[in-house]
Amino acid sequence: MDIGKAVLGILDEVLQLGPRAADLSADSPLLGAIPELDSMAVVAVLTLVEERFGVTIEDDEIDGAVFASLATLTHFIEAKMAA
Amino acid sequence: MSTPELAAFFAPGTAGKLFSLLYCPPANITVRGAVMYLAPVAEEMNKGRRMAALQARAWANVGWFVLQQDSFGCGDSAGEFADATWAGWLADALRAAHWLAERTGHRPVLWGARAGALLACAMAHQDELLRQVLFWHPVASGKLLLQQLLRLKVAGNLFAAEPGGASTRQWRACWEAGQGVEIAGYEWSSALALACDALALTPPSGGGQLAWLELAGGPASDLSPAAQAGVSAWRAAGWAVDAQPVSGAAFWQVVEIVEVPELIHYSTQMLENLPAVDI
């Protein structure tokens, strides 16, 4: 499955990106660039990631770098799934 | 259109009276069987109340008795959440399932929503006669449930520049040290949290019939990788699994109370496909 696409779907669902979703590339910045992505939105994203991909995420694994871009978030999930 | 008859009463439980609602099929409808609801836990139970009521009504209208009972310390039942135990919830749920079978002449289908799926699963492990199960977007494990609850508590600290507030790890340490932790108005005792931490959605051996419904925010296409893995595990244990992705909002966590008619449509259909079991 295409994890990047699934991650974009989760962001769209939580943040209601609408047409902005189509403009997001792998390297587009997330944290700080999308105003809706606040701490509660991050919690919602993490919850959906855990439920959809069957992983458990500890909060000390999460920092700003994970949510820097679509690519960093996707890479983080791929690494969790491989672990 | 006929409407189901609704009986509200208090049933005896191991530690206090339990508020119960029994939806009965209208008199002119042939009885198909019985369903017992296992609700999500804490705030998700409240958020899920409307969908649970709509589903119970839909099933009753086509011939199913549906029992909804608030667990000890939850909803309108006796006791405080802080005093609830997993063993107590399980014993009460099994007692209610047996009562429902006696009352209706049908072994109930266990309908587990979110964390309620973990309770349904534990019941099926305890009683080999309870082998028809329906899941609404099940929580995969107790550990995940607790992690998500704790994360809400620490959300504000996630990206704090200075390490200040407690982490989920620190709250877990409180439970391990025997202390309770308050999360969004619910006091989770050490005993309850540690019991939940050990729960998993492991299929009971011996097989049975399982209907698995998963909600996807966007257009539903495939089950998520996590649900696919779960379905495979139950099939490998000899269960016949009917799995269905459904398009709709995660009604147990969104701010507004929402309805997902498609979930009710599929759930009603999937129950019709289960073979009837008399006691």
Residues B50, B171 share a domain: no
List pLDDT tens digits, range A28-53: 999 989 988 888 888 889 988 998 89
Query: Over 90: is that where the pLDDT of B157 sits?
Result: no
Residues B88, B71 share a domain: yes
B84 occurs within a structural domain: yes
Distances (CA, A) of B60 to B4, B64, B99, B108: 6, 5, 18, 13
CATH of the domain at B86: 3.40.50.1820
What number of C-beta contacts closer than 8 Å exist between A and B? 66
Residues B216, B194 share a domain: no
- Search chain A and give the residue with CA nearest B249: A13
B248 occurs within a structural domain: yes
Residues B102, B153 share a domain: no
List pLDDT tens digits, range B223-259: 988 999 999 999 999 999 999 999 888 888 776 778 9
Residues B71, B85 share a domain: yes
Buried b (16+ CB within 10 A) or exposed e, A7-27: bbbbbbbbbebeeeeeebeee
| A32 touching B (Cβ < 8 Å) | no
Query: Over 90: is that where the pLDDT of B143 sits?
Result: yes
Chosen for mutation from A12, A30, A59, A81 (greatest number of chain B CBs closer than 10 Å) is A59
B124 occurs within a structural domain: yes
Look at the alpha carbons of A41, A15, B49, B200 in this order and tell me if their dihedral is positive or negative: negative
Nearest-by-Cβ selection for B151 from A31, A59, A64? A59
Query: Over 70: is that where the pLDDT of B1 sits?
Result: no
B17 occurs within a structural domain: yes
Q: How far is CA A71 from the centre of its chain?
A: 9
B278 occurs within a structural domain: no
Provide, as residue numbers in chain A, all residues whose Cβ is less than 8 Å from the Cβ of B154: 59
| pLDDT value for B161 | 56
Q: Which CATH architecture has domain A3-82?
A: Orthogonal Bundle (1.10)
Look at the alpha carbons of B100, B15, B5, B252 in this order and tell me if their dihedral is positive or negative: negative
Q: How far apart are CA B212 and CA B234, in angstroms?
A: 10
**Between chains, do A13 and B140 touch, taking CB under 8 Å as contact?**
no
Closest chain A C-alpha to B227 CA, distance in angstroms: 7
B63 vs B252, which has greater pLDDT?
B63
Question: How many folded domains does chain B comprise?
Answer: 2
Chosen for mutation from B135, B145, B148, B168 (greatest number of chain A CBs closer than 10 Å) is B148
How big, in percent rounded to 5, are the helix, strand and coil portions of chain B? 40, 20, 40
**Pairing mode, strands B109-113 and B5-11:** unpaired
| pLDDT value for B278 | 67
Residues B107, B239 share a domain: yes
Residues B227, B157 share a domain: no
Query: Over 90: is that where the pLDDT of A17 sits?
Result: no
- Residues whose CB is less than 8 angstroms from the CB of residue B89 and which lie 6 or more positions away in sequence, other chains included: B71, B72, B119
**Between chains, do A60 and B169 touch, taking CB under 8 Å as contact?**
yes
Residues B208, B159 share a domain: no
Residues B170, B57 share a domain: no
What is the residue whose two structure tokens read 């949290």? Answer: B193
| A60 touching B (Cβ < 8 Å) | yes
**Tokens in use for B226?**
């996590």
- Search chain B and give the residue with CA nearest A61: B158
Chosen for mutation from B158, B171, B197, B247 (greatest number of chain A CBs closer than 10 Å) is B158
Q: How far apart are CA B134 and CA A23, in angstroms?
A: 40
B192 occurs within a structural domain: yes
| pLDDT value for A68 | 94
Closest chain B C-alpha to A70 CA, distance in angstroms: 18
The full set of domain ranges for chain A reads 3-82
Residues B122, B27 share a domain: yes
* Stretch B215-223: mean pLDDT: 77
**Tokens in use for B43?**
């705030």
CB atoms within 10 A of CB B206: 12
List pLDDT tens digits, range B82-140: 999 999 999 999 999 999 999 999 999 999 999 999 999 999 999 999 999 999 999 99
**Between chains, do A59 and B169 touch, taking CB under 8 Å as contact?**
yes
| A53 touching B (Cβ < 8 Å) | yes
- Residues whose CB is less than 8 angstroms from the CB of residue B131 and which lie 6 or more positions away in sequence, other chains included: B124, B204, B206, B207, B208, B209
Residue B201: closest CA among B15, B4, B38: B38
List pLDDT tens digits, range B182-211: 998 899 999 999 999 999 999 999 999 999
**Pairing mode, strands B240-247 and B109-113:** unpaired
Q: How far apart are CA B242 and CA B240, in angstroms?
A: 7
Residues B113, B58 share a domain: yes
Structural domain for B236, as ranges: 5-141+200-272
Chosen for mutation from A43, A48, A62, A80 (greatest number of chain B CBs closer than 10 Å) is A43
Distances (CA, A) of B207 to A69, A71, B129, B230: 44, 42, 11, 14
B74 occurs within a structural domain: yes
CA angle at B218 for the pair B225 and B168, rounded to the nearest 5°: 60
| A17 touching B (Cβ < 8 Å) | no
Residues B92, B172 share a domain: no
Catalogue the long-range contacts made by B42-45 (C-beta closer than 8 Å, 24 or more residues apart). B42/B81, B42/B149, B42/B183, B42/B184, B42/B186, B43/B184, B43/B185, B43/B186, B44/B114, B44/B115, B44/B252, B44/B253, B45/B74, B45/B75
B228 occurs within a structural domain: yes
